[in-house]
Amino acid sequence: MRRSPTAPRPATASRRAHRTAAVTVASAALLLPLLGAAPSGGPARDPADGLQDAFAAAAARYGVPPGVLLGVSYLQSRWDAHGGAPSVTGGYGPMHLTDARAALAGSPPHHSAGTEDPRGDDSRPMAPPTADVPRRAGVPDRLETLARAAALTGLPAAELRSDVAANVAGGAALLAAAQRDLGGPPSDDPADWYAAVARFSGADDRATAAGYADEVFRVLRTGQRRTTDAGQRVTLTPDPGLRPDTARLARAGLRTADAAGTECPATVSCEWIPAPRKELGGGKHGNHDVADRPAAPRIEYIVVHDTEETWDRTLQLVQDPAYVAWHYTLRSTDGHIAQHVKTKDVGWHAGNWYVNSTSIGLEHEGFLARPDAWYTEAMYRSSARLVRYLAARYDIPLDRRHVLGHDTVPGAAASTIPAMHTDPGPYWDWQHYFALLGEPFEATAGAEGGLVTIAPAYAEHRPPFTGCTTAGTPCAAHGSSAVRLHTRPAADAPLVQDIGLRPGGGRSTVDVHDIGSRVSAGQQYAVAGRAGDWTAIWYLGQKAWFQDPKGRPTALPASGPVVAPRPGLTQVPVYGRAYPERGAYPAGVPVQPVSPLPYRLLAGQRYAVGGQVPGEYFYAPTLDPARHRVVTGKDKYYEIQFGHRVAFVRAADVQVLPSAP
């Protein structure tokens, strides 16, 4: 292996001899069921080692270094099989072999699915956007790799989808074909496979292909070890001195992406695909606003979305001035990033103008729940690198009250709550995401700390959901970051109710889009009581219970500041935006109502604090930034984790206390 540009190339004869001797047995093993018995006469194998054996067999059969195959698979799926369910872009199995047509069945674009106003500004509301962009007849090659794997291996497509060993073999065959196509040697040295790994990504530009390969080789250098969602033990031994041969990538004929002007870390591939601003007539314009952030307004939040669309279609939408715009889009298969709006400017994406004006929006290619919802490791890693970069640049705390899901953005007013979005949904792995951010969810206090951080074991935690395909139909069992809340400490107790989500009454459900009675990993809440294996928290003005067994806890103890009504107040209003008081508005800027949500923070209740913010409103009525104003008031607010979504309370109404008794 190449350990440095000047180091001598070590001998590979012994490794080749070992692999030659293993080919016959390994190839035969590939034909056995993944968890089946060992070949006759061989030692008994632990079924939990079956996936490791499948990687070894496929690597031997197709002449791919085992570490390369393991590294590529880790970046695709972390070796998980997801029970044969496809990813958000139609990828199957540990190798994420794509057959995306099922995932691309027609649905309205992400911000055109209901009555939500994505701009969320009372002074200049907009109708739900539509874009006249024709759908493509087919799908890109990167989303149809399973068919090519079937042709290369001779295995049926159905087997490549459902059988893990076959899926791994299909990935090995694709890597071997890429190596041949690029004129690479039949080598067992991982350093010789850099260009083939880059080709496997499906990227059409050189920077993205190289970025993907670089990430795989980081995995090879650091190694990995984990137990998969199916209980399979897999190990990739670290090779810290590995240095790949990158020269052959020049033969791939990939385009050069336009990265000029992008705001991205050097460790990701980034492309500038701008969202246009244009007069639309009738005093309207689209699809974002020029600003001078973070000088004014501030930048407080990063909002994580999923696109509910394919990559190509998403790029068409964001380039339509009659649609809306966000700052970045991330691609599923390889983690490539497109930037559309400068971070100093305000995108229209969150459905709440206060959050829009103080946030950066990231759309991730994928679908919340159709037909399942798992996201590639390549996209998680690329997103985490981008978020770390943005958080450092704008001093944004890396916690769940500042790195928001679209599903945790509050409604701006009571009337907007039912139409707010619910992505990225219960299948986004917040635990893993924050580990990649360098801020894993851990216990930060003893049992009497007064707060809990929600942290179910993602892969094993599989609450039932309905509505992934059709309303009322059960979803496939799947790891989840979401935890259900009940009115008392019993599994058969009713779910808690959200009066804002259902102002006319009605019960919470287990629908995948219903966030009225659930919390999510990383969110922090004040403890309201304990009973056996159950913990109660304060949630939407009520006591809510979740299962929290001592031997397998669902939440971790924590401590920190909380808010409660100041002495003498029995209740205080809760807001969906932190707007200034009436007297702060200058002439010519319409006063924005400080309208409370239909909830109340009651005496005796406590809620975790995300920080203090000033009352602020960004007035941007026209395309001309000369007419824009930032209004800052004297009123201060605290952001709190109030329900599934965050909320705001006036600082004058509450007192800040330590969470511990």
Residue 113 has pLDDT above 80, yes or no: no
Q: Which of these, 592, 582, 440, 576, lies nearest to 123 by C-alpha position?
A: 592
Give the pairing of strands 346-347 and 288-289: antiparallel
From residue 120, how far is each of 125, 127, 416, 439, 597 by CA, in Å? 6, 10, 9, 31, 15
Instruction: State how far Cα 235 lies from the chain centre.
Output: 25
Can you list the domains of the chain with their CATH numbers? 13-97+140-252 (1.10.530), 110-136+259-563 (3.40.80.10), 564-658 (no CATH)
What span, in angstroms and rounded, lies between the C-alpha atoms of 22 and 15? 11
Model confidence pLDDT, tens digit, residues 298-316? 999 999 999 888 888 899 9
Average of per-residue pLDDT across 331-352: 96
Cα-based torsion angle of the residue sequence 557, 559, 562, 564 in order, rounded to the nearest 10 degrees: 70
What was the pLDDT predicted at 116? 58
* Amino acid letter for position 570: T
What was the pLDDT predicted at 115? 55
Q: Is the pTM of this model over 0.75?
A: yes
Model confidence pLDDT, tens digit, residues 474-484? 988 889 999 99
DSSP class per residue in 395-450: T---STTTEEEGGGSPPSSGGGGGG----S-TTS-HHHHHHHTT------S-TTSS
Model confidence pLDDT, tens digit, residues 183-218? 999 999 999 999 999 999 999 999 999 999 999 999
| pLDDT bucket at 571, cuts 50 / 70 / 90 | very high
DSSP reduced 3-state for 628: coil
State the DSSP H helix or E strand holding residue 379, giving kind and residue range, or none if neither.
helix 377-394
DSSP reduced 3-state for 27: helix
Average of per-residue pLDDT across 551-565: 97
Q: 39: cis peptide before it, omega within 30°?
A: no
Cα angle for residues 646, 407, 514 (degrees, 5° grid): 110
What was the pLDDT predicted at 549? 95
The lowest-confidence range among 33-47, 82-96, 484-498 is 33-47
305 neighbors 110 (Cβ within 8 angstroms): yes
41: number of Cβ within 10 Å:
5
| R_g of the chain, CA atoms, integer Å | 26
Residue 3 has pLDDT above 70, yes or no: no
| pLDDT bucket at 595, cuts 50 / 70 / 90 | very high
Q: Facing residues of 387 across strands? A: none
Cα angle for residues 334, 336, 339 (degrees, 5° grid): 165
What was the pLDDT predicted at 13? 37
Q: Which of these, 154, 28, 168, lies nearest to 96 by C-alpha position?
A: 168
What span, in angstroms and rounded, lies between the C-alpha atoms of 300 and 298? 6
Residue 26 has pLDDT above 50, yes or no: no
Q: Which of these, 390, 378, 416, 406, lies nearest to 98 by C-alpha position?
A: 378
Residue 428, Ramachandran bin (φ over 0: left; ψ between -120 and 50: alpha; else beta): beta
Residue 102 has pLDDT above 60, yes or no: no
DSSP reduced 3-state for 646: strand
More confident residue, 29 or 282: 282
Average of per-residue pLDDT across 272-293: 90
DSSP structure class, residue 494: P
* Residue whose pair of structure tokens reads 């799947």 in the numeric block: 478
What span, in angstroms and rounded, lies between the C-alpha atoms of 496 and 517? 5
Average of per-residue pLDDT across 445-471: 94
Query: What's the mean per-residue pLDDT of the chain?
Result: 89
What span, in angstroms and rounded, lies between the C-alpha atoms of 149 and 121? 49
Model confidence pLDDT, tens digit, residues 156-170? 999 999 999 999 999
Residue 8 has pLDDT above 70, yes or no: no
Residue 461 has pLDDT above 70, yes or no: yes
Average of per-residue pLDDT across 278-298: 90
Residue 173 has pLDDT above 90, yes or no: yes
